[in-house]
Amino acid sequence: MKVLLASSEVHPYSKTGGLADVVGALAKALAKEGLQVGLATPLYKGILEKFPGIHPSDLRIDLPLGTRRVEGEVFQLEGESGLTVYFIRQSDFFHRAGLYQETGADYPDNAERFVFFSKCVMHLARHLAWQPDLIHVHDWQVGLVPLLIKHAKERAGWGTAPKTCLTIHNLAYQGVFPRSAYELTNLPEDYFHPGGAEFYGRMNCLKAGITCADLITTVSPRYAREILTEAFGGGLDDVLRQRQRSLVGILNGVDYTEWKTTGNPFLNNSFALRNLRGKEAEKLSLQLTMGLPQASDRPLFGSICRLVDQKGSDILLGALVEMLAANMQFVLLGSGSPLLEKAFQNLARRYPDKAAARIGYDHPLSHRIEAGCDFYLMPSRFEPCGLNQMYSLRYGAIPIVRATGGLDDSIIDLTEDLEQANGIKFYEYSSRALAKAIRKALVLYRELPLLRHFRKNAMSADFSWDRTTAEYVDVYRRTLAAA
């Protein structure tokens, strides 16, 4: 089977969130499974310098974008056997400080940038020497690809065009632009209707993917059910319900070759379930780095996230104000809303011995926080899948999560199954409910046999890509076999 993946971010080349981790790992895992895999992504600033193996290909790009033509080049990198990454170089669009925005404001030409990228993906699919059977696109930035392919197949003479799969990593981001942006697609007007790319008079890139893809997946079984409801559907629940038969939820996997507690280049100490001394050393070193008193017997809570409404920062701040009176510490790594950044910085100023906040993006520190913490906080309002709760399980930081989306699918609370319990769940979206969960964690921390039991379940939980890959290959097969 031959698959072309496309994503606006891919670890280790570019990343703002979980999307990059998942696409990077999925591409590797599919290639390992024996599929021929291509992966298309923009060539952002700095990538060429960091990956000297990337080289120009023979493919040139010269595509219409509304009333003008835009040129670009295709660079490529041969990864593990069976995997080739194709980087689209278009310096005006992609050689910038950020991926989607700078200083909190979206780039005003994001429609041009990602309509162009979507057209490049279709161009690649058509002109690569190996013809993909299926194009698998991820999130709104490439949501138009299934529509472009549908048009090519039904009306523009490419009868053998590949099938398409869209994965929704987060329905909260849909790529909605003014109607005028639709002209950039150079598609006939008659796709601009509620059954196509139109959404209340505007162009909605994700909706175009939902209405036109042969297969739709999302990143956890529970989120697949949630997005069919008005509360979680972001205005697209109706369209999603119409496509329900083509929608499946597949829980993301973890790349354990990157997220590991032994031989991890970002950690100073290795540790394992049977020898947690290295974890204790990581805790002391993290406390030092974050400017907190070093105390191995004080429970340390951590959180790493984009500071946006989704992640539950408001209830986290409320719960911490109440709970920091107790004998505990908290560290945060995150960036996003200036208001939330300030709120966490103020909290750290108010409790200098108990709370610390690092504002910014810091990949090595994210590994150290997972390794050094006793508990990991993820009080999300909604969470399509979430990766950090799975990373923290492996690092022996017991996750405290709100029971939503992938958090509910991946974490087992003591009240659900004492034998298998690996985390603490709470249900109501409130500071009070989260504070209660933190109180349970403080009790657990003092009950050593129970804590060991939780750690054992957590650290041995297996979210490896093997299961996830098998599920993707299975749905690809079924899609290719369907008429």
Q: Scan residues 5-44 and list those touching ligand ADP (CB under 6 A).
A: 17-19, 21
Nearer to ligand ADP, 116 or 140 (CB): 140
- Contacting residue, 41, 287, 388, 422, with ligand ADP by CB under 6 A: 388
- What are the residues whose beta carbons fall under 8 Å from the beta carbon of 22, sequence distance 6 or more? 138, 169, 219, 252, 253, 385, 387
Sketch the per residue contact string, 366 through 385, with ligand ADP: x for CB under 6 A, - otherwise.
Answer: x------------------x
Structure tokens at 276: 């947690």
Q: Is the Cβ of residue 165 or residue 333 nearer to ligand ADP in the bound state?
A: 333
Q: Say if residue 395 is exposed, middle or buried (CB neighbours under 10 Å; 0-12, 13-18, 19+).
A: buried
**How many whole angstroms separate alpha carbon 401 and alpha carbon 437?**
9
Residues binding ligand ADP: number (CB under 6 A): 18
CB of 169 to ligand ADP, least distance (A): 7
Site string for ligand ADP, 281-310 (x = CB under 6 A): -----------------------xxx----
Query: Closest distance between ligand ADP and the C-beta of residue 364, in Å?
Result: 9
Q: What is the DSSP letter of 226?
A: H
CA R_g for the chain: 23
Tokens of 10: 């891919």
Beta strands 83-89 and 68-78 are: antiparallel
425 DSSP β-pair partners? 401
Q: Which residues pair with 199 in a beta bridge?
A: 202
**Nearer CB in complex with ligand ADP: 94/223:** 223
C-alpha to C-alpha distance for 328 and 298, rounded to whole angstroms? 6
Q: Please select the residue that binds ligand ADP; options are 55, 363, 452, 467, rule is CB under 6 A.
A: 363
What one-character DSSP code corresponds to residue 294?
P
The 305-344 contact track toward ligand ADP, x by CB under 6 A, reads xx--------------------------xxx---------
Listed ranges 30-38, 131-139, 356-364, 434-442: which one lies at the site for ligand ADP (CB under 6 A) = 356-364
CB of 305 to ligand ADP, least distance (A): 5
Taking the least distance from each CB to ligand ADP, the nearer of 112 and 139 is: 139
**Cβ-contact 227, 235 below 8 angstroms:** no
DSSP 8-class letter at 304: E
Nearer to ligand ADP, 246 or 303 (CB): 303
Minimum distance from CB of 211 to ligand ADP (Å)?
24
Report which residue's Cβ sits closest to ligand ADP. 18
108 φ, ψ (degrees, to nearest 5): -65, -20
| Beta carbons of 219 and 385 less than 8 angstroms apart | yes
Q: How far is residue 439's CA from residue 417's CA, in Å, rounded to a whole number?
A: 20
- Interface residues for ligand ADP in 110-169 (CB under 6 A)? none
Task: Output the CA torsion sign for 320, 325, 327, 329.
Answer: positive
Name which of 135 and 304 has its Cβ closer to ligand ADP: 304
Q: Which is nearer to ligand ADP, 209 or 399 (CB)?
A: 399
* Length of the chain counted residue by residue: 483
Question: How far is the C-alpha of 289 from the C-alpha of 283, rounded, in Å?
Answer: 10
Per-residue binder mask for ligand ADP (CB under 6 A), 389-428, x = binder? ----------------------------------------
Told to check if 386 binds ligand ADP by CB under 6 A, we report yes
Residues that bind ligand ADP (CB under 6 A): 17-19, 21, 304-306, 333-335, 361-363, 366, 385-388
